[in-house]
Amino acid sequence: MGEAANDTVRLLWGPPAKPTRGPKPALTLERIAAAGVEVADAEGLAAVSMQKVAGLLDFTKMSLYRYVPGKAELIALMVESAVDEPPRPAEGTGWREQLTAWSGHLADSFARHPWLLDATVGPRVVGPKELTWLERVVSALDGHGLTGPERMDAAVLLAGHVRGIAAQSRATGPAGSPEAEFLTVFGLVMQQHADRYPAVAAAVAEPGGRDQALDFGLERILDGLAALIERRTAQP
């Protein structure tokens, strides 16, 4: 990161620097981020280039550098712009319902903007909206006997699961989609090497509802958390 981290923090968190002299800027960070999101939604994150984003706004590539230090910061803005607002916890709902709703909404975000998976790998500065997601999980678990680090770990656990599911469902894609070739290829490979992978071969041969993966993992995690909470609240 180095110095770039400071720039990114200022961009995502800081007060919008208000220069006084010179011509009025013709663009805004919001418009730039929105254009980037548009490109990424349509053609994937790899297709996002300064050229294309600038072209979409009828500007030249270099003009973007007046607003954004570099491509990494542009993507950080895109993430912050594309991520949904986390759901407000309904009044009187328990931690389990809150976390279930949270996971569903996060999965929706990933489904709407699959490139978020690519954009959020690796160390980076998180934005205000992204941090709000974390806040919701941690606060949903407040007051149930978990330590602070444990609440954070639980958040990482949940987020990791939703991510994993989103990655999987992007890879397979909706039935009949071009990405579904992935499943075909996988099926052929399994068929030819069933002897080396008997357990997997048997598991995929067995019929059963697809698309249950999110709920399945979620229920296991929540059951596991419930067991811990029960133990903690039973013996204070």
Partner DNA sequence: GAGAAACTGTGTCTCGCAGACACGGTTTGT
Partner DNA sequence: ACAAACCGTGTCTGCGAGACACAGTTTCTC
Sites of contact with DNA (CB under 7 A): 19-27, 47-52, 59-63, 65-67, 70-72
Among DNA, its own copies, none, residue 71 binds (CB under 5-8 Å by kind): DNA
CB of 52 or CB of 124, closer to its own copies: 124
Radius of gyration of the chain measured on its C-alpha atoms:
22
Query: Which of 146, 132, 129, 37 minimizes the C-alpha distance to 80?
Result: 129
**What does the alpha-carbon distance between residue 20 and residue 217 come to, in Å, rounded to a whole number?**
53
List the one residue from 26, 43, 210, 233 that touches its own copies (CB under 8 A).
210
Cα dihedral 16, 14, 162, 47 sign: positive
Segment 125 to 164, residues that bind its own copies, using CB under 8 A: 125-126, 128, 131-132, 134-135, 138-139, 142, 147-154, 156-157, 159-161, 163-164
- Does 72 participate in binding its own copies (rule CB under 8 A)? no
- Does 26 participate in binding its own copies (rule CB under 8 A)? no
- Does 186 participate in binding its own copies (rule CB under 8 A)? yes
| Minimum gap (Å) between residue 52 Cβ and DNA | 6
* φ/ψ (deg, to 5) at 164: -60, -45
- Angle, helices 181-192 vs 198-205, to 10°: value is 130
Structural tokens at position 174:
């909706």
Segment 100 to 129, residues that bind its own copies, using CB under 8 A: 117-118, 121-126, 128
CB of 149 or CB of 236, closer to its own copies: 149
Residue with tokens 């678990």: 141
